[in-house]
Amino acid sequence: MSKPVVTRIAPSPTGFMHIGTARTALFNWLYARGRGGKFLLRIEDTDRARSTEDASAAILRGMAWLGLDFDGEAVSQFARSARHAEVAHQLLAEGKAYKCFASQDEIAAFREEARAAGKSTHYRSPWRDAPPESHPEGPHVIRIKAPRSGTTVICDEVQGPVTIQNEQLDDMILLRSDGTPVYMLAVVVDDHDMGVTHVIRGDDHLNNAARQMMIYEAMGWPLPVYAHIPLIYGPDGKKLSKRHGATGVEEYQQMGYPAAGMRNYLARLGWSHGDDEFFTDDQALEWFDIGAIGKSPARFDFKKLENLCGQHIAQTEDAALLHDLEAFRAISGEQPLSAAKISLFQAAMPQLKERAKTYVELIEKAEFILAERPIQPDEKAASALDIVSRGILKELTPHLQNASWSRTDLETLLNGFAEQKGTKFGKLAAPLRAALAGRSATPSVFDMMLVLGPDETIARIQDAAT
Interface with ligand GLU includes 201 (CB under 6 A)?
A: yes
The active-site residue, picked from 119, 238, 239, 242, is: 242
Whole-number minimum distance, CB 195 to ligand GLU, in Å? 15
In contact, 75 and 41? CB cutoff 8 Å: yes
Interface with ligand GLU includes 62 (CB under 6 A)?
A: no
Nearest in space to 219 (alpha carbons), one of 123, 91, 132, 322: 91
Whole-number minimum distance, CB 155 to ligand GLU, in Å? 17
Whole-number minimum distance, CB 429 to ligand GLU, in Å? 53
Give dist(CA 403, CA 220) in Å, integer: 84
Give dist(CA 362, CA 369) in Å, integer: 11
Interface with ligand GLU includes 20 (CB under 6 A)?
A: no
Interface with ligand GLU includes 187 (CB under 6 A)?
A: yes
The type of residue at 380 is: K
Query: Where in 323-382 is the site for ligand GLU (CB under 6 A)?
Result: none
From the list 5-13, 63-71, 101-109, 226-234, the region that binds ligand GLU by CB under 6 A is 5-13
In contact, 87 and 93? CB cutoff 8 Å: no
Cβ nearer to ligand GLU, comparing 168 with 208:
208
Whole-number minimum distance, CB 35 to ligand GLU, in Å? 19
Whole-number minimum distance, CB 146 to ligand GLU, in Å? 19
Interface with ligand GLU includes 56 (CB under 6 A)?
A: no
Whole-number minimum distance, CB 207 to ligand GLU, in Å? 12
Cβ nearer to ligand GLU, comparing 187 with 189:
187
Please give the size of the binding site for ligand GLU, defined by CB under 6 A.
7
Nearest in space to 141 (alpha carbons), one of 85, 77, 220: 85
Interface with ligand GLU includes 44 (CB under 6 A)?
A: yes
Instruction: Work out the angle at residue 47's Cα, subtended by the Cα atoms of residues 41 and 51, and round it to the nearest 5 degrees.
Output: 65
From the list 4-12, 61-69, 311-319, 357-365, the region that binds ligand GLU by CB under 6 A is 4-12
Cβ nearer to ligand GLU, comparing 54 with 113:
54
Nearest in space to 170 (alpha carbons), one of 102, 105, 241: 102
Cβ nearer to ligand GLU, comparing 44 with 156:
44
Which phi and psi angles does 435 have, rounded to 5°?
Answer: -70, -40
C-alpha separations of 354 from 62, 167, 180, 357 in Å: 27, 61, 57, 9
Cβ nearer to ligand GLU, comparing 190 with 324:
190
Helices and strands, number each (H, E), in the chain: 19, 12
Helix 259-268 and helix 19-33: axis angle, to 10°?
90
Interface with ligand GLU includes 11 (CB under 6 A)?
A: yes
Whole-number minimum distance, CB 451 to ligand GLU, in Å? 48
**DSSP structure string for 391-406:** HHHHHHHHHHHT---S
Interface with ligand GLU includes 12 (CB under 6 A)?
A: yes
Interface with ligand GLU includes 33 (CB under 6 A)?
A: no
Nearest in space to 255 (alpha carbons), one of 360, 365, 327, 366: 360
> Known catalytic residue: 242?
yes
What burial class does residue 200 get, using C-beta atoms within 10 Å of its C-beta: 0-12 exposed, 13-18 middle, 19+ buried? Answer: buried
Interacting residue with ligand GLU among 89, 111, 205, 244 (CB under 6 A): 205
Interface with ligand GLU includes 23 (CB under 6 A)?
A: no
Where b means 16+ CB within 10 Å and e means fewer, 256-289 reads bbbbbbbbbbbbbbbbebeeeeebebeebbebbe
Rg of the chain (C-alpha set) = 31
Interface with ligand GLU includes 10 (CB under 6 A)?
A: yes
From the list 6-14, 307-315, 354-362, 390-398, the region that binds ligand GLU by CB under 6 A is 6-14
Find how far residue 243's CA is from the centre of its chain.
18
Query: Where in 115-154 is the site for ligand GLU (CB under 6 A)?
Result: none
Give dist(CA 297, CA 50) in Å, integer: 28
Whole-number minimum distance, CB 40 to ligand GLU, in Å? 11
Cβ nearer to ligand GLU, comparing 44 with 324:
44
From the list 8-16, 45-53, 264-272, 306-314, the region that binds ligand GLU by CB under 6 A is 8-16
Find how far residue 424's CA is from the centre of its chain.
48
Check the CA dihedral 438-439-440-444 and report its sign: negative
C-alpha separations of 194 from 27, 43, 197, 209 in Å: 18, 13, 9, 17
Interface with ligand GLU includes 218 (CB under 6 A)?
A: no
Map residues 400-439 to x or -, x wherever contact with ligand GLU holds by CB under 6 A. ----------------------------------------
Cβ nearer to ligand GLU, comparing 12 with 316:
12
- Collapsing DSSP states into helix, strand and coil, what is residue 73? coil
Interface with ligand GLU includes 228 (CB under 6 A)?
A: no
Cβ nearer to ligand GLU, comparing 27 with 257:
27
Interface positions with ligand GLU (CB under 6 A): 10-12, 44, 187, 201, 205
Active site residues: 242
